[in-house]
Structure 1
Amino acid sequence: MKTYQFHFNNNKKTAAILLWFFSTLLTITLTTTILVVPVEDYFPNWLLLFTFPLMLLSIYKLYKVASRRQSIEIITVNKEGFTSSCFGAVLFSEITSIKIPAREISLLGGVNYDYYKRTEADIPHLVTSITANDGKTLCWVLDEWGGLYNSKEDFSVFFDFLTALTDQMYPLYHDNETASTYLKILDETGSWEKSREQNLIG
């Protein structure tokens, strides 16, 4: 058995983050306006007794909600499948689809980090999903070169897991060995879907 541990963005609480983000923006604007601009006729100074604590509360709530989007994943892979600390156990034979943003990953032919340093292009948030035949979907969001929720090393561990996963699944549906490539069961877009006609080998 092989174990992989990494941090990732669970992509939860988006609505709450937006709420507290705009609350923080509003309270900072009001507080700054009262402190800097002489607008006593419109905003009396005693409003600071309300806006300043609200600003601190909004900043704190935004930080707490945003920090909850980071999860620690521990995945153990064996011959039959893998067990995720966040999503539970999944057998390889139960997986019906895999979707990986292959064209945005530098290891798979996507642009490298220097491109994003030289341009104003946003670094993509890479969303990987695995769906099982019971309808359960496992989803991980990571940044290849590190970000707010994961480090570069976390992505490297996650990519090792994807490589092990696809290496294990390939012999289940193909009786011929291919040249050594990354994530060889997937197509060029990073997708794989189990068709109705596709049966397990052996």
Structure 2
Amino acid sequence: MNTYRFHFNNSKKTSTILFWFFTTLVTIPLTATGFLTSSHPLFPAWLLLILLPLMLVAIYRLFKAASERKSTEIVSLSKEGFTSSCFSSVLFSEIRSMRIPVREIGLLGGTQRDYYKKTDADSPNLEFSITTLDGKTLNYILNEWGGLYNSEEDFSIFFNFLTALTDQLYQLYHANEPYNSYLKILDEKGSWEKTQPV
């Protein structure tokens, strides 16, 4: 049994993050205005006593909500399937489809890091999804070159898990077929769907 441990972005609390982001965006200039015009009759000093704590709470809650998007995953892979600390157990025969952003992954010959430096674009957060027969979807969002939610090493470990997972699915469903891609079972768009029962 192989075990993989990595961090990823769970994409949760988006609405909470947006709420506290805009609250922070509003309270910082209002508080700054309050400090600059505290003696002005249109901006009484007591209002500053409300805005300053509100601004501090908003900043704290924004960072707290953003940090809660970082999850630690421990996956144990066996011959029948894998057990995930975030998504419970999944048998290989229960996996219905996979979506992997193969064109963006540098390890697969996709867009290189230099491209993002030259174009001043942010390095992408790659979204990987595994859907089971009962409709459950396992979503992992990682940055290949590291970022706020995962390091380069985390992505490397996740990629090793992905390689082992697709190898197992290949042996289960396509053992007699030649493979054309690095992650054997995927088509050129990075998709795979279960087409035959086991």
What is the Cα deviation at residue 143 of structure 1? 0.7
**In 1, Cα distance between equivalents of 2:151 and 2:175:** 37
SS of equivalent residue, structure 2 residue 20: helix
Q: Distance in 1 between matches of 2:101 and 2:31?
A: 43
Q: Once the two structures are superposed, what CA deviation does each residue of 1:89-138 show, in whole Å capped at 9, x if it has no partner?
A: 11111111000111111112221111112222122111111011111111
Counterpart CA distance in 1 for 2:129 and 2:179 is: 25
* Change over 3 Å in CA distance of 1:39–1:190 after alignment to 2: farther
Q: Give the deviation of 1:35 after TM superposition.
A: 2.1
- Please show how residues 25-174 of structure 1 align to structure 2 within 5 Å: 25-36=25-36, 40-174=40-174
- Quick one: which amino acid aligns to residue 24 of structure 1? T
Displacement of 1:36:
3.2
Letter in 2 for 1:109: G
TM-score with structure 1 setting the length = 0.92
Q: Which residue matches 1:12? A: 12
Percent same amino acid among aligned pairs? 64
Q: Distance in 1 between matches of 2:179 and 2:14?
A: 42
Give distance in 2, aligned partners of 1:82 and 1:25: 43
What count of residue pairs does the alignment treat as equivalent? Answer: 198
How far the C-alpha of 1:44 sits from its partner, in A, is: 2.4
Structure 1 residues without counterparts, runs of 5 or longer: none
Higher mean alpha-carbon deviation, 57-66 vs 179-188, is at 179-188
Structure 2 gaps, min length 5: none
**Are the structure 2 counterparts of residues 133 and 11 from structure 1 closer, same or farther at C-alpha, using a change threshold of 3 Å?**
same
State the 1:199 CA deviation. Answer: 3.7
Q: Judging changes above 3 Å, is the alpha-carbon distance between structure 1 residues 87 and 39 closer, same or farther for their aligned structure 2 residues?
A: same
TM-score by length of 2: 0.94
SS at structure 1 position matched to 2:103: helix
RMSD, aligned CA: 1.6
